[in-house]
Amino acid sequence: MKTKLGMTPKHLLLVALLTSLSIILYSSGYSQVCSDPANVIYGLDFNGKIYPITVSNAAVGTDINITNPSKPNSSNGLGYASTTGKFYYYLKNPDNGNSGTFVSYDPVNDVYGNLSETNGPTENVYRASITVDGKYYCIDINSNFYCYTISTNTWSLITSTFVDQDGNDVDAVFRTYDSGDMAFDGQGNLWFVVSGSGKIGLYKIPGPITTANISALSVVRILSTTTSTPDGNGAYGIAFNATGQIFISTQSNLYLFNPATLTFTHKGALANMSDLTSCNFPLTVITILPLNWINFNVQANNKDQAFLNWQVSNQFGNKGFYIESSVDQSNWRQLGFVSSRSINNQGIEQYSFSHFISNKAATFYRIKQQDFDGNFSYSWVKAVKQDEKYVVVISPNPAKSVINVECNSISVEHGRISDLTGRVIQRFPLKTGNNKVDVSQLKTGVYFLTSIHDNGDVKVVRLLKE
């Protein structure tokens, strides 16, 4: 028997089997989206097509859109929602007061969904990302920051004003450097790339980020826009892999960016991608290494001056040092600022500062070190008197085995090392000049070396044992 189409039951069975097989192959192929988060991120081209990208070499795979998107125009603003398993982006970018076309794309079923544009952007959107709980954030070229809630299909305007850790007007930077992208980590922090004229900047907005309208939003500057992109082209995309590595694309290439050293490693050529995203929300992202305090000393002379000297290492992203003083160790005032000589240096650097002492009693000093991203740390506190002549200096500090204790007094009685509880761990004789003291038996930690003058004066120096 033949059907009206001239097909026998045997033919119909064959068609059914082929159809079933194609469905199985189709479902199997597209269920592989996000199956390799450590090695694969995703890129969007200007025609609305989404591609897997291997981060090790920037190799671009076959586009995952089986059905070609309808009427694309400068597609951008790609994000992936783990809550729905869909990609969200502007298929047609907003422009000149028009809202564009905002869509979702289901890679498993190859289905597009037209979404609300009401109260959303009406100007170009080049930067967007989605939170782990399903909120799409984007910013237009006029620095208007929006949130689209996937579960309710609604938009809200958050703010148009951004201020960094130094009080700078960052929304002006966002308008000037209007290219770039955004990416959320698993802590809800938003990493924000801005770019233009071959320059690149990196900011972080600490999470969680509100969905309500606010007057201004605080951001942390990590990389200043005085930095050139590695290839001189504008930066287009940013994405994380599963281990928290940061990948940044330019007009022509893909790079691994290390914020600990502020360096770019070329992974391969990557052209015609307007945006990046990934299926990753890493809880840990490589961050700038904390500065290491090696030594801090203060000495006074007979001209009413205090001389501060300190040594540090791991100056990655270090803006500089604020010198502070106090007479009671409770109320501190800022005396001055010393700029970092290195913002990308693991080695040891030495700095100094001088201050006129107006107080006859003890004056306390400390140093506040601050990174460009707003993170900061304090040195330990030192005290001097205007007429102080009894000085003790120890080195190296931190120490591993033997320390040098330098005394300038002719009548030192003895020295001792105590722990944080005040318990005396070690006693030793001291003489004027250099004294070598074996501290190899001390456990790793913080101690205090106390030297006692025969007239009762006491000098205490903090000792770090490695």
Distance CA 420, CA 266 (A): 48
36-277 with 289-388: one CATH topology?
no
| pLDDT value, residue 387 | 54
Averaged pLDDT of the chain:
83
How is 326-342 classified by DSSP, letter by letter? Answer: ESSSSS-EEEEEEE-S-
> Which CATH superfamily is 36-277 part of?
Kelch-type beta propeller (2.120.10.80)
Distance CA 202, CA 180 (A): 10
| pLDDT value, residue 97 | 92
| pLDDT value, residue 267 | 96
| pLDDT value, residue 31 | 45
Sign of CA dihedral 217, 218, 220, 225: positive
- Provide CATH code, domain 289-388: 2.60.40.10
* Domain over 389-466 is classified CATH 2.60.40.1930: yes
Where exactly are the structural domains of the chain? 1-30, 36-277, 289-388, 389-466
Q: Is residue 13 predicted with pLDDT exceeding 50?
A: no
Sort strands 246-250 and 235-240 into parallel, antiparallel or unpaired: antiparallel
- 146 to each of 15, 57, 127, 429, how far by Cα in Å? 49, 34, 11, 69
Task: Convert the pLDDT of each residue in 276-298 to its tens digit.
Answer: 999 888 766 655 556 778 888 88
| pLDDT value, residue 17 | 39
Task: Convert the pLDDT of each residue in 337-363 to its tens digit.
Answer: 998 877 666 678 889 888 877 666 667
299, two tokens: 């000495």
Helix (H, G, I), strand (E, B) or coil at 323: strand
| C-beta separation of 44 from 125 below 8 A | no
- Cβ atoms within 10 A of the Cβ of 442, count? 18
Q: Average of pLDDT values for 29-50? A: 85
| C-beta separation of 120 from 99 below 8 A | yes
Q: Average of pLDDT values for 173-200? A: 91
Return the H-helix or E-strand segment holding 59: strand 59-60
Nearest to 278 by CA among 43, 23, 30, 442: 43
| pLDDT value, residue 294 | 82
- pTM of the predicted model as reported, rounded to 2 decimal places: 0.60
Sole residue written with tokens 């890679």 = 107
| C-beta separation of 465 from 449 below 8 A | no
| pLDDT value, residue 391 | 64
Distance CA 170, CA 164 (A): 6
Q: Is residue 439 predicted with pLDDT exceeding 60?
A: yes
Task: Convert the pLDDT of each residue in 155-164 to its tens digit.
Answer: 999 999 998 8
Task: Convert the pLDDT of each residue in 362-386 to its tens digit.
Answer: 678 889 998 776 777 788 778 776 5
